[in-house]
Amino acid sequence: MKRHQTLRDLSREHHTALTLALAARRAATSGDSRQLAASAKACGEVFATHLEPHFVVEETTLLPALARAGEQALVARTLREHAALRSLCGELPGGGAATLLRFAELLSAHVRFEERELFEVAQAGLEQ
């Protein structure tokens, strides 16, 4: 889908998140403790360098605009999921396969929610 200019960078960054989620899911189900540990470490690093800054941009620019437009339910869901992902990321060191899998599944579902719902509503407002 072609995105409005103000959403393009955020949308592109979702590719990094989906790639990370796929790798984490594979590691979590691999049964290999070294792969699991490496993936948990990589998730923490990518979260700090890419995902957290992405969340901050959304939370300081996009979400306030959507809240002003009356989209409180979408904003609340986004903030809940950001908080859950931050929490899970903090649990990754030593959290085991189940924690890594929960992180991967929530990250993937969150990106799809943003692309299919949040950004669709935002884009409709930007095109007016």
Residue 121 and residue 35: Cα distance in Å, rounded? 38
Domain that holds residue 45: 5-126
Q: Residue 1 — pLDDT band, cuts 50, 70, 90?
A: low
Q: What is the count of structural domains for the chain? A: 1
User: Could you report the per-residue pLDDT of 66-105, keeping only the tens digit for each?
Assistant: 999 999 999 999 999 999 999 999 999 999 999 999 999 9
User: Could you report the per-residue pLDDT of 41-73, keeping only the tens digit for each?
Assistant: 999 999 999 999 999 999 999 999 999 999 999
- As a dihedral over the C-alpha atoms of residue 115, residue 57, residue 76, residue 98, rounded to 10 degrees, the angle is 70
Query: Region 30-41: what's the mean pLDDT?
Result: 96
- What local confidence, expressed as pLDDT, does residue 68 receive? 93
pLDDT at 16 over 70: yes
